Structures are given as structure tokens and as C-alpha cells.
Amino acid sequence: MNFSKLGLNKELLTAIEKANYIDPYPIQIEAIPAILDHQDILGIAPTGSGKTASYILPILQILQGKKENRSRNIPVLVLVPTRELASQVAQVAENFSRYLKRRVKTVAVFGGVSINPQMMKMNGTDILVATPGRLLDLLSKNSLSLSEVEVLVLDEMDKVLNMGFREEVNQILSDLSKKRQNILFSATMDEALEKIITSLLNNPKRISVKPAEVEVDLIEQYAYRVSPEKKGPLLRYIINSGDWSQILVFTSSIRTANNVVNKLVKNGIDAIAFHGDKSQGARTEALDKFKSGKTRVLVATDLAGRGIDIQFLPLVINFELPRSPKDYVHRIGRTGRAGATGEAISLITEEDLHHFKIIQKKMKKHIQLRSSDDFDL
């Protein structure tokens, strides 16, 4: 199966080819024709399953049959939990719309930045990608109208609810037009979500995609025993000892991430931090620099690290261990992807030993613990 069989027009197929998309993901094969057929969608799919393109591509095509929007009435609303995802979705829409005959205007809105520039962008918006709080702020200022929304997308809906946005979502839904197409994606299913699905979706097409398993056997894992005061020097020694083009370092706190970056930079190692205290612009810039190879080392926290998707990342370093074995697997799973091998190194203090044994037990894999005493730090 290829994209040309899914009913997409030649302009979108050109954009897909330019983006180096080869074969569609399973969720795209099922969702794209159904959305083009104006069906409601219920997709149970994890991050990284290709779901963003699965709804953006058909929505862009549907908009080609509509008159250009010259008002503040929003025809397509995409509701997301975080500013990171809002920016990513908007970027995907912009990338795929570049060859279309009818111009499609996509705007992402989220908190943490000034609302005035966002208010000024509303006129003529075709696709609005929004976090719940900022969308309500804009509605309270009469900056836009949702009364003519034709397509509603609720992306990562489980996370939206887990972040405490249930009341906001209900308020937003009450402002929408009754006749519309509804598309809902979630990684998990629970009672709260079931209630929304029952009231929102009309005979939806159900699509389920299992999370991709981390190929642990493709990742060479080892660890170094080290005292707390020598962690920084050992990290710098490891980075300087190899020729890895990209290195992702994980810390457990924002403060540690910043400290690690400062020490690396002072010692002549190009590094940049990536965490929730950074502005959206700073986070986007950091990730772009890392992906393009302009910055060799990215130091990230777990929360921010979930937005990092790099196909051939050669090395992950756990400067600090995560709280759960599941998070450990998620961290090292940033490498060893798409059949490529990778390395994962953990720095283990005396206090970490018991927790590190638990991680190995849960993962059912022994990790060699090496001494760092002989290194010239």
C-alpha cells in the first residue's frame, strides 16, 4: 500500500514525496480514506504512530473544496494538551499544504506567550490548533467563533483529561456547531474518556494501533559506577571519548539539566537544554539545532524528552536514573530504532544501585556495571 491509493490529490502526494514519506503507517491507511468520507473517527494510538498526518492530510484535501475563509469563523479546530504538540501539528499542516492550489492558513495558539499576536492572526484561519486554556481566553475576548466548525479533532485526549482540562473541554464543546465531523485520538481508554466518546462521536470508525515495542536487543546497554562529585567529569569524558554525532542526555530535573549544560559549555562541549521551563520558541530552536547537527548534545528532562523523535540517534546517556523502569525503557528507546543499533549508558552512584537493579529486573535484562576508577577525569 502506498499514499497514492488513499484518495489524496496530486498536490498532497507531491508534498508527501518531498517530505520523504515512503509507505503510510497502518493508522494512515485506515484513517485517511475514512476522514475523506466524512466519517467520525475513534483512534487508540500512541505518540509516534503517524496519527498527525492521518488527520491533517485528509483535512487539507477537504478544505480544497471550500471557499477561502475571510472571517474569524474557524472551520477546523484541533484541540491538543500541550504547546509542544500544538506547534508540531501546525508545522505538519504547513509542510503538507505548500503545494496546494487553495491557500490553507494554519495557526497554533497556546499559553505562556502574549495573547495579542495570536488574536491578530485569527482572521482567515482555516485550521486552528489550540490548547484548551488559551482557546477559552481567545473566545472570552471574542477573537474568534466556533459556531461554524465543520471538523473537530481531539488529539491525545487522555492527556488533555489527565492534565485537568475536562471542564474546559466541555465548555469548548458547548460552543461548537452541532453538525460536524469528529475525530478523536487517545493513547489509552478510561471511564472519563468513554463518556466523552459516547456523547461526541456518531457511529465512529474505530482504529487501534499497538505501541511500538522498544527493541532492547538492538541497544548496547552498560553503566558506570561513579561518585556524585565525579558525575560531571565522567559525562564529559564519555562525550569526548567517542565520535557520536548526536548525544541525548537525560536528567531528572530542570535544574540539573541547566547545570549540566552550563558545565559542558564551559568545558568546550556544544550543548543545549530542552525542558518545560524553556519558552516554546527556545524549545523548538533547541530541537531543530540538535536534529540538524548544529548542536551535538541535547540535555533533556523526561517530560520534554517525549517529544523527541530522531530515527538514527546513536547514544543516550542517563546522567540520572528515571523514577520508573517504564521511563527508563522509554529513554533508551530514543536510540536503536528502525532496525539501527544504538548505545545507552547510565551513570550509577551508590544510592542508585538498588533502583538500578529493579530496572534491570523489570526489563529482564542484565546490564554490565563498569568501574570508572581508571579514567583520567
* pLDDT, tens digit (0-9, with 9 covering 90-100), for 186-221: 988 877 788 888 889 999 999 998 765 556 667 899
CATH of domain 3-208: 3.40.50.300
In tens, the pLDDT along 116-169 reads 999 999 999 999 999 999 999 999 999 999 999 999 999 999 888 888 888 999
Residues 322, 331 contacting (CB under 8 angstroms): yes
Predicted confidence (pLDDT) at residue 325 exceeds the cutoff of 90: no
Residue 293: per-residue pLDDT: 87
Residues contacting 162, CB < 8 A, separation 6+: none
The label of the residue with cell 523514577 reads 323
How far from the centroid of its chain's Cα atoms is residue 343's Cα?
22
CA trace torsion 77, 87, 28, 32 (10° rounding): 30
pLDDT of 83 reads 85
Confidence (pLDDT) at 112: 85
- CA-nearest of 151, 155, 209, 286 to 29 is 209
Q: Is 113 in contact with 131 (CB distance < 8 Å)?
A: no
Mean pLDDT of 74-98: 93
Q: Is 370 helix (H, G, I), strand (E, B) or coil?
A: strand
- Taking the C-alpha atoms of residue 144 and residue 124, their distance in angstroms, rounded to an integer, is 10
Q: Count of residues for the chain?
A: 377
Mean pLDDT of the chain: 90
Which residues are registered as beta bridge partners of 26? none
d(CA 317, CA 193) in angstroms, rounded, equals: 36
Helices (DSSP H) in the chain: which residue ranges?
10-18, 26-36, 51-64, 83-96, 115-120, 132-140, 157-162, 166-175, 191-200, 231-241, 254-266, 280-292, 302-305, 325-332, 353-363
pLDDT of residue 21 exceeding 60, the answer is yes
Can you tell me whether residue 276 is helix, strand or coil? coil
In this predicted structure, the answer to whether residue 331 has a pLDDT above a threshold of 70 is yes
pLDDT of residue 304: 55
Question: How far apart are the C-alpha atoms of 100 and 332, rounded to whole Å?
Answer: 39
- Give burial (CB, 10 Å; 0-12/13-18/19+) of 9: middle
Instruction: Give the integer Cα–Cα distance in Å for 175 and 77.
Output: 12
The answer on pLDDT for 339 being more than 80 is: no
CATH number of 216-371: 3.40.50.300
Nearest to 121 by CA among 168, 164, 72, 80: 72
14-18, 20-24, 302-306: the lowest-pLDDT one: 302-306
* Start and end residues for every CATH 3.40.50.300 domain found in the chain: 3-208, 216-371
